[in-house]
Amino acid sequence: MTKPIELNPKQTLQNNIGAAKKSTIAEGSTFAEVLTKTQPLSFTKHAQNRLENRQIKLSDEGLARLAEAVDKAEKRGGQESLILMDDIAFIVNVKSRMVITAMDATKRGEGVFTQIDSVVLADGKKPEE
């Protein structure tokens, strides 16, 4: 008489967890891509001060647009990007997802931005056609 095969409960649980993780992660995604998707934007103290002093308010929708623009820059290989959103300009370190500085239309000085390798337009919602 043959004994039935018994599974170790830990193995079953680990296999189920592994299957659940695979279902939430797109095929072919690297660890860095998955981490980036879950990592929110952060702001340097300098950027926070600029936003506060210049009374620049970012809504949840604005933050989402900014994050989407950072995603676009990353996909194209950007490292230090100028992101233009409405009348606000942000300099962002794409790899660390860190906003370095922010300025509105009245505080752009001469309008010269240095030490950037890409520009991304963070367009608002496009009108439906």
- What's the confidence (pLDDT) of residue 19? 43
- What's the confidence (pLDDT) of residue 61? 92
Q: Is a pLDDT exceeding 80 seen at residue 23?
A: no
Q: Is a pLDDT exceeding 90 seen at residue 111?
A: no
What are the structural domain ranges in the chain? 40-129
What residues pair up with 24 in beta bridges, in sequence order? Answer: none
Query: What rounded mean pLDDT belongs to the chain?
Result: 78
- At 2-22, the pLDDT tens digits run 655 554 444 433 444 444 444
Question: Is the overall model pTM greater than 0.75, yes or no?
Answer: no
Task: Say which residues have a Cβ less than 8 Å from residue 80's Cβ, sequence separation at least 6.
Answer: 91, 92, 93, 94, 100, 115, 116, 117, 118
Q: For residue 33, which amino acid is it? A: E
- At 65-97, the pLDDT tens digits run 999 999 999 999 999 999 999 999 999 999 999
